[in-house]
Amino acid sequence: MIEDDSPGLPLDIPEPARAALTLAAGLWHDEAAAAAHVEAAVAAAPEALAARIGAYKFHFYRHRYDEAVEQARAVLALAARRLQLPPDWAEVRPNDAGFGRIEPWPRLYLQALVGLGYCLARQGLTADGRAVLAKAAELDVSGKFGAARLVAVIDRGGLDDEDDG
């Protein structure tokens, strides 16, 4: 959900953190060892966007939603600071940033918000996840990040459109 391929984002990462993420990728089959390297990358470069996005993706794809939530919140905080948004996502309004345009930082903010809401819902914190996703849907006037669809899935009790009863 949080992508690191948006042009215009500073994905510079100190070499120790880059090396740790590379080792983590090579050890995907050994979850504990890979997780240790991911955590080392974040410890080596806690303000590096690439380290946080890499950590989010690792935890997300491993279904380690509690750790993914922590990383989504960190990415959200980095994007909020860059966009000069309130630190509390609930206080952000659609006109506070270029959410309707294709700009890297507003896009990243929306991706992090959707990722956070999704992971909260997957943890069983459905009301919290729904609130975050509803905010993402409010900010994403184009609807391209799918937050409104995820809110609808939550409202149907977790059933997708194609699910029966």
**Is 67 domain-assigned?**
yes
The pLDDT averaged over each successive group of 10 residues in the chain (165 residues) is: 55 87 94 96 94 96 97 97 96 92 90 97 96 97 91 86 52
Residue 10: what pLDDT? 60
Residue 84 lies in a domain: yes
10 Å CB burial of residue 117 (0-12, 13-18, 19+) is buried
| Residue 139: CATH number of its domain | 1.25.40.10
Residue 126 tokens read as 């459905």
Is residue 94, in this structure, part of any structural domain at all?
Answer: yes
- What pLDDT is stored for residue 12 in this prediction? 76
Contact predicate 72/58, CB 8 Å: no
Residue that the structure tokens 């959707």 belong to: 114
Q: Domain of residue 27: give its range.
A: 15-155
Q: What pLDDT, on the 0 to 100 scale, is given for residue 165?
A: 45
Q: How many domains does the chain fold into? A: 1
Residue 4 is assigned to a structural domain of this protein: no
Please, what is the Cα angle at 71 between 14 and 156, to 5 degrees? Answer: 150
Torsion sign over Cα 53, 54, 55, 58: positive
Provide the pLDDT for residue 158: 76
Does some domain include residue 66?
Answer: yes
Q: Give the pLDDT of residue 4.
A: 54
SS3 category, 59:
helix
Residue 125 lies in a domain: yes
Say if residue 160 is exposed, middle or buried (CB neighbours under 10 Å; 0-12, 13-18, 19+).
exposed
6 lies in some domain: no
